Structure 1
């Protein structure tokens, strides 16, 4: 407290950053109690289910290096994208279990959100690549795209990764992701800023554009493959029916995992445009948006289903593993019965 010429001037020495973060947000900052109660157990289940399936896929694909096809190359990169998510989830779970209080540094907040965003973009990119690969094999069987080598497919995968990292780099370089208010540190990539920085705006734009762009491609591929199958109804070739199943599974996983977050996010953005009189609705839609993003993390659990439909190598490896486990269980049971018989 300074005194000068009859004027009392208060200089807050503590909490300057907290008050400024609060004042620059639309409708303020507060813990999302619904998110903190629902999402942590969901993320723990997704982590426990997603890790074994993706480890199995990684082992299968790496053990068959000599028989890689472009399709397998794209699926392997989908596995790698899932590992970015699985590595990031423990920090996210810790953050939510503390009722949205980020105890790590600002740099780790940005890295964590960057990896989550890269997982989403890369997953969308490689799902689309698998669908396009199947489209050319069915609709344009003599196109030169069908005859690319595995090294050329790897080059395509590197290009997809380069695009993904370039589009998500602004999120890593933005300094407004960690916001503080009332002893809470909020690590959010979708903070309710009144005037978001350019990096955040780019993040929003990429979040929406990658979904709708890939959705259009997936629906187009599905429509064209179904048309070809309908024309050749008499043949009913097995590879065409398989292509329809693959595209259908990819579409279902894509919409289930990425659709809810986009739909609720657009609702939240609309509520923001309605002004502060709709703050309660805006905050509620914001909570449901974060829960909708939880569906995004579900892709690491459902992606092994795509591997099973898209790769006979993966299906055969899973069948072999199940048969071996059944044989081992049978042998153990037989040994137990023999021991009991000897004792009798």
Structure 2
């Protein structure tokens, strides 16, 4: 059995034998490797921008920075998981097993929660510009971030209290449980709570994201007053968040519900169970793709981040406005320099004439 078996239903449902062992070993390593490489590249650049290029911070910037931290927590956990899939056994011990599973599941919740906070912040800025929510200080934004992290971590803390190591010698594995027959009552309750959270933490934020996007769109179309660029900018933010949210988290939510329904109402239907299990395995790769796609949200959601990023690029690669500004600045400097040279020559000529 393999490390991701916990996510796919463990040792099978009813009389069905374990499934997905060969598929997860074939598909997940390359997919997760791509997630790690792209995620590290994008988030290292984002971290560099946040730490060394942004001169001023606002609440929105602080929320995005926390999203970077959440992505790194997932990225540092995936190499161990990739290694376990390639070796076909877990070699890092019980402590790292608990931390690894905790980080993997916490990242999903943290990413969803922080993306939702960013969307809500944008909603109040656009639709209710005079609301006191927009007067939030950086200190208050930090407290909101702490609250979000506590809300994210609290339901996952019990995962750290139990050993998830199964087997012995060089055949040990790190996963939630092997099967319902082998799992303790506490683990069964923990797995049930995890499945409920997987569904709720997708459905509720999706409803909030949809509401914010629709309200922003309607508000700006009614009061555009000749500012179509403002509409496009705000809608790009909402669209980027919703697209990343759906691509990364919808497949896992649907397949989780599918496995749950089959286990509960059709325990004899091995074909359906195998289908949903295999889809769940594939969806895991998309689940962690959010760490690679989140930098897109940073670019669309923060003008300060976007300007800092563009100003850090070579002039030929800079954004349109920044490149134009650079060219204008260069032309202005050259013009000023030329004017100054002409004036100096004129002064020199006058001085020689006066001397004669």
**Which structure's relative contact order is higher, taking Cα pairs within 8 Å and 6+ residues apart?**
2
Q: Equivalent residue of 1:128, what SS? A: helix
Aligned equivalent of 1:48? 37
* Aligned length, in residue pairs: 305
Structure 1 counterpart of 2:344: none
How big is the shift at 1:208? 1.4
Give distance in 1, aligned partners of 2:274 and 2:168: 16
- Map 1:248-327; keep pairs closer than 5 Å: 248-323=239-314
Q: Which of these residues, 144, 151, 174, is aligned with residue 132 of structure 2?
A: 144
1-side partners of 2:95 and 2:191: how far apart?
Answer: 16
Of the structure 1 ranges 194-203 and 263-272, higher mean CA displacement relative to structure 2 is found in 194-203
Shift of 1:48: 1.1
In structure 2, how many angstroms separate the alpha carbons of the residues matched to 1:130 and 1:305?
13
**Separation in 2 of the partners of 1:185 and 1:265?**
25
Deviation at 1:319, TM superposition (A): 2.1
Q: CA 1:42–1:104 in structure 2 vs 1: closer, same or farther (change >3 Å)?
A: same
- Asked whether the 8 Å contact 1:268–1:282 carries over to 2, the reply is yes
Q: CA deviation at 1:69?
A: 0.6
Q: 1:244 corresponds to which residue?
A: 235
Superposition pairs of residues 9-20 of structure 1, within 5 angstroms? none
Deviation per CA, 1:54-105: give whole Å up to 9, x if none: 1111111112565101100000000000100111011010111124x22232
* Pair 1:320–1:121, CA change in 2 (3 A): same
Aligned counterpart for 1:231 among listed residues 222, 232, 252:
222
| Higher CA-based Rg | 2
The aligned residue for residue 79 of structure 1 is 68
The correspondence for 1:213, drawn from 204, 209, 214, is 204
Offset, 1:126: 0.6
Other-structure match for 2:350: none
CA contact (8 A) 1:170 1:200 kept: no
Give the Cα–Cα distance (whole angstroms) in 1 for the partners of residues 316 and 130 of structure 2: 42
Equivalent residues of 1:170, 1:203 under 8 A apart = no
* Mapping of residues 75-224 of structure 1, within 5 Å: 75-99=64-88, 101-175=89-163, 177-180=164-167, 184-189=171-176, 192-193=179-180, 196-224=187-215
> Judging changes above 3 Å, is the alpha-carbon distance between structure 1 residues 22 and 146 closer, same or farther for their aligned structure 2 residues?
closer
Tell me the SS of whatever aligns to 1:197.
helix
Where in structure 2 are there 5+ consecutive unaligned residues? 1-9, 319-356
How far apart in 1 are the matches of 2:193 and 2:109? 13
Q: Distance in 1 between matches of 2:156 and 2:280?
A: 20
Q: Do the aligned residues in 2 keep the contact of 1:139 with 1:228 (CA within 8 Å)?
A: yes
CA change 1:183–1:309 in 2 (3 A) is same
| Matched position secondary structure for 1:103 | coil
Residue segments in structure 1 that go unaligned for 5+ positions in a row? 1-20, 328-344
Deviation string 1:268-298 (CA, Å, 9 cap, x unpaired) is 1112124442234313422321221211110
In structure 2, distance between residues paired with 1:197 and 1:130: 34
Counterpart-to-counterpart distance in 1, 2:44 and 2:175: 29
RMSD (CA atoms): 2.6
Check the 8 A contact 2:58/2:138 in 1, yes or no: yes
The aligned residue for residue 332 of structure 1 is none
| Equivalent residues of 2:127, 2:219 under 8 A apart | yes
**C-alpha distance in 2 between matches for 1:114 and 1:145:** 32
- Cα distance in 2 between the residues matched to 1:25 and 1:183: 29
